[in-house]
Amino acid sequence: MNKVLNVSAYRFVALPDAQAMRAPLLERALALGLRGTVLLAGEGINLFLAGDAAKVREFLALLRADPRLADLQAKESWSEAVPFGRMLVKFKHEIIRMNHPAIQPAQGRAPALDGPTLKRWLDQGHDDAGRPVVTLDTRNAFEVDYGTFAQAIDWRLAKFSDFPQALQQRIGELQGKTVVSFCTGGIRCEKAALVMREAGLPDVWQLEGGILKYFEETGGAHFEGTCFVFDEREALDPGLRPAP
């Protein structure tokens, strides 16, 4: 029986006291018996946690008590065992490294597209304005190899910080199209969408909540394979179950 709740969540928001938040959050997570990782930076928070459902939700409630994190949205899945070995809370310069300091998601997001709308666009082969739609995978190449959207653009990135240079070299592939960037949980495609808009692409969207939310909302239509996750489950199928 799957009794362990796994959650992933992130929010880009100014946290000038991020470093000071580390110790009290670690103390509370340990007291609740949770395992996983919480990343804190001046640009926001990114977390992956697992444990007893009530305890996980208690920790999320603690985070949301901070007005800056009140609308933190978590994606949920279940497993038989905790897929993390320990509990870590870390302070970083970025919650997802891009090395592109001009991109500040906390100051404004690119438009977000929900899973059912993307499914409908892929079903019909174009967006609501009649433009061709392409999906752009912003994950690392080894993650893409587990599974991705049918006919997704894959630039075989070795690491996410390679994305801006790859865009400069291959932006022509995206001209004249509606581009939907996607990743596992939404954090990378959010930064990627801002970089593309900065580069002058007018019709760019980010997939809200990434692949995991898309699975939850659509059952995985148009997605081929499984979604790699950075824990001991390794990959999830469209039913958000550990892949065999």
pTM above 0.85, yes or no: yes
Amino acid at 224: E
Residue 106: the pLDDT is 58
pLDDT at 105 over 70: no
pLDDT at 101 over 80: no
Q: What percentage of the chain has pLDDT greater than the value 70? A: 95
Residue 122: the pLDDT is 98
Dmax (CA) for the chain in angstroms is 53
What topology is assigned to 4-91 in CATH? Alpha-Beta Plaits (3.30.70)
Indicate the domain borders of the chain. Answer: 4-91, 105-236
pLDDT at 144 over 80: yes
What topology is assigned to 105-236 in CATH? Oxidized Rhodanese; domain 1 (3.40.250)
Rounded mean pLDDT of 19-44? 97
CB 127 within 8 A of CB 180: no
Closest Cα to residue 113, out of 183, 210, 188? 210
Residue 98: the pLDDT is 79
Pairwise CA distance, residues 84 & 106, whole Å: 29
Length of the chain, in residues? 244
Q: Are strands 153-154 and 133-137 parallel, antiparallel or unpaired?
A: parallel
Which letter, b or e, does each residue of 17-49 get, where b requires 16 or more Cβ atoms within 10 Å of its Cβ? ebeebbeebeeebeebebbbbbbbbbbbbbbbb
Residue 109: the pLDDT is 77
Average pLDDT score, the chain: 94
Rounded mean pLDDT of 86-113? 81
Rounded mean pLDDT of 196-211? 95
Least confident of 51-65, 108-122, 131-145: 108-122
Pairwise CA distance, residues 21 & 39, whole Å: 10
Rounded mean pLDDT of 121-139? 97
Q: What percentage of the chain has pLDDT greater than the value 90? A: 92
Residue 22: the pLDDT is 98
Task: Name residues whose C-beta falls within 8 Å of residue 108's C-beta, 6 or more positions apart in sequence.
Answer: none
Orientation of helix 115-124 relative to helix 210-218, angle to 10°: 80
Query: 122 vs 110, which has greater pLDDT?
Result: 122
Q: Is 183 a catalytic residue?
A: yes
Which pLDDT band holds residue 7 (cuts at 50, 70, 90)? very high
Residue 5: the pLDDT is 97
Residue 110: the pLDDT is 80
Task: Name residues whose C-beta falls within 8 Å of residue 190's C-beta, 6 or more positions apart in sequence.
Answer: 12, 105, 109, 110, 206
Which pLDDT band holds residue 97 (cuts at 50, 70, 90)? confident
* Catalytic annotation, pick one of 29, 89, 174, 183: 183
Task: Name residues whose C-beta falls within 8 Å of residue 200's C-beta, 6 or more positions apart in sequence.
Answer: none
Which pLDDT band holds residue 2 (cuts at 50, 70, 90)? confident
